[in-house]
Amino acid sequence: MPVPKQEDVKAILTDFETRLRAVVDRAWQDWQNEPNKGRFIFLPRVRATMVFDFIARHAIAEFDGDSNIRVIPKGQQTIHFLFKDKVLVRFKQGNTKGVGSNIRTQAVLDFIDPQRTIPGLVPDIMKVEICYAPDDVGIEIDEVAVVARNRTQRIWAYPLARPVIGNVTELPPRAPDTTPPVVEPRQPKPEEKPEDGR
């Protein structure tokens, strides 16, 4: 199957976008709450592994039992989610190209090459990644996006926005102040006057 069209994927995932983003945000918060994260020597590698594990747990809890989503464990290595029997999703940390970082295994090649099929699934499944990208310091997430790829190339992506919490009240613009500021010079105190009396 060729690279899926963005509008086709979005039509399927629209109803789930808030939940997809929430899974990533909850997993990232779990990582931020990890008390011992400062002791790791290989922090980026450990963080990616732990956040993936947190994502998998939150995604299973979020989507298991939803009749529109099939949870597909892939051994002890990864997990996929099939939305409405049409869009297959995997969660990944994005690399500098904006696609998921991978060790090149046969299962990875089956996923990242749009021409290959995944064993046990029909050939016309649309395969996409939910990629998150931490900021340069590793404090916040810069982006969470639905990404279509062709092997190592990012073909298209659209962001999953963080939901707005609470009501936002628009304030009217403030009228400009046309009165110039008034500056009144301060009179020096007696102890501040120079000795010559000036």
CA pair distance 118, 100, nearest whole angstrom? 17
Q: Is the dihedral of CA 57, 59, 60, 61 positive or negative?
A: positive
Q: Is the dihedral of CA 107, 30, 158, 12 positive or negative?
A: positive
CA pair distance 131, 153, nearest whole angstrom? 14
Domain ranges of the chain: 6-159
pLDDT by 10s per residue, the chain, length 198: 789 999 999 999 999 999 999 999 999 999 999 999 989 999 999 999 999 999 999 999 999 999 999 999 988 889 999 999 999 999 999 999 999 988 888 888 888 988 888 888 888 899 999 999 999 988 999 999 999 999 999 999 999 998 776 666 777 777 777 777 777 777 777 777 666 655
Its pTM surpasses 0.85: no
CB atoms within 10 A of CB 30: 16
Alpha helices in 14-154 (DSSP H): 17-32, 43-63, 106-112
